């Protein structure tokens, strides 16, 4: 995969850990310069030291409306152009709806749905003008199955899956590709509230994915011939019981 993305500039939200970090690392390994977008300034500083000069840290709180609105100009100030945008940042609310906190619901829907829509809206003019670009959104297996233990989270991913499919149909005429990755359970910060014994058992059972495995799929999508769009990839652990 060396040099497959040479000369490209990518931007990844939620890039300080998990799928976002694995995606950024894979793109860097393929020769791209990558803008790593996250609110965790300390984590980005450590990563930029480790990943080298092609990793361009950008501290942004996407839930702050003015900061979110300024994202695209700041990406261009760092990278000069944008060829790939991976809208990956998200949060999780699970459990019975009756037990959910309304503020947590608002925050999750804002980040998982509103922020993704605004970010994609803001990168489109630049890509349309250049008549080239790839947009990938991190969705979820929950977008394809009415998961009873996470109604709010699943609803956010159903919404964003519809968004991806409809935006793709609007912009393919401009040479843009839009697709989503929909993984099952992945070992990320979203599983931070799992009991350690449950996490260990799930790993032992082969019912969890690793972030690098999702990043491999992202790279597959990005490296197809321009005449091919991978619109939606559903991936899950072989031993995941759904």
Enumerate the active-site residues: 153
Strands 133-138 and 176-183, sheet pairing: parallel
Phi-psi region of 190 (alpha: psi -120 to 50; beta: other; left: phi over 0): alpha
| Rounded CA separation 100/206 (Å) | 29
Retrieve residue 91's tokens: 């949060």
CA neighbor of 117 nearest in space, from 171, 75, 159, 82: 159
Which residue, 141, 127, 131, 137, is CA-closest to 166? 137
């Amino acid at each position: 995969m060396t040099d497959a993305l040479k000369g490209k500039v990518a931007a990844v939200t939620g890039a300080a850990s998990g799928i976002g970090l694995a995606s950024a690392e894979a793109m860097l390994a393929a020769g791209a310069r990558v803008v790593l977008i996250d609110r965790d300034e300390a984590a980005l500083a450590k990563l930029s030291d480790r990943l080298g000069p092609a990793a361009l840290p950008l501290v942004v709180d996407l839930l702050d409306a003015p900061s979110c609105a300024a994202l695209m100009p700041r990406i261009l100030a760092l990278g000069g152009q944008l060829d790939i945008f991976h809208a990956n940042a998200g949060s999780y609310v699970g459990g019975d709806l009756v037990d959910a906190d309304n503020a947590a619901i608002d925050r999750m829907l804002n980040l998982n749905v509103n922020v993704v829509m605004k970010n994609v809206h803001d990168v489109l003019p630049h890509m349309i003008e250049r008549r080239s670009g790839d947009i990938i959104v991190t969705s979820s297996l929950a977008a394809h199955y009415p998961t009873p233990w996470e109604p709010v989270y699943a609803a956010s991913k159903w919404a964003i899956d519809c968004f991806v499919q409809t935006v793709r149909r609007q912009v393919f005429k401009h040479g843009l590709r839009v697709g989503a990755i929909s993984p099952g359970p992945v070992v990320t910060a979203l599983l931070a509230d799992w009991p350690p014994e449950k996490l260990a058992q799930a790993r032992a059972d082969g019912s969890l994915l690793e972030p690098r495995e999702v990043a491999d799929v992202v790279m597959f999508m990005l490296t197809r011939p321009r005449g091919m769009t991978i619109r939606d990839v559903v991936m899950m652990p072989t031993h995941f019981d759904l």
